[in-house]
Structure 1
Amino acid sequence: MTTTPTHSGLERLLTIAELSDYLGIPVATLYDWRVDGVGPQAVKLGRALRYPESCVRTWLEEKLHG
């Protein structure tokens, strides 16, 4: 996964559904991981969770090399 800048130059934020699809992990598992503090770092915007691509990439690299 590479960081994809948007037209505004900001980093793309993935929805939980997009992250679920990308990782092949159920949405419910991602919610559980968030509660347990073991998943990728997310940003809460109002009631919505968003996952910065760089945080997902860092989390994956830690899983690969940790």
Structure 2
Amino acid sequence: MKIGSGWYLRGDLGLAVYQGGRGHWRTLAGAERKWYDDSFGIGGVFGVGAGYYFNEHFRFRT
């Protein structure tokens, strides 16, 4: 939505899908440690901002 000469408002809408991780390491004593996370999640992403349109090659947004 244009506000005035070059200024505009913007909105972002999205979906984030993430999964847990895994890792393994050795302690200073030489014992092996393992970590495994089998979680899975989905979340929404929403943001708003404003920007200034200079020309078709350059614009500034926040």
Bin for the TM-score computed over the shorter chain: under 0.3
Structure with greater proportional helix content: 1
Structure with greater proportional strand content: 2
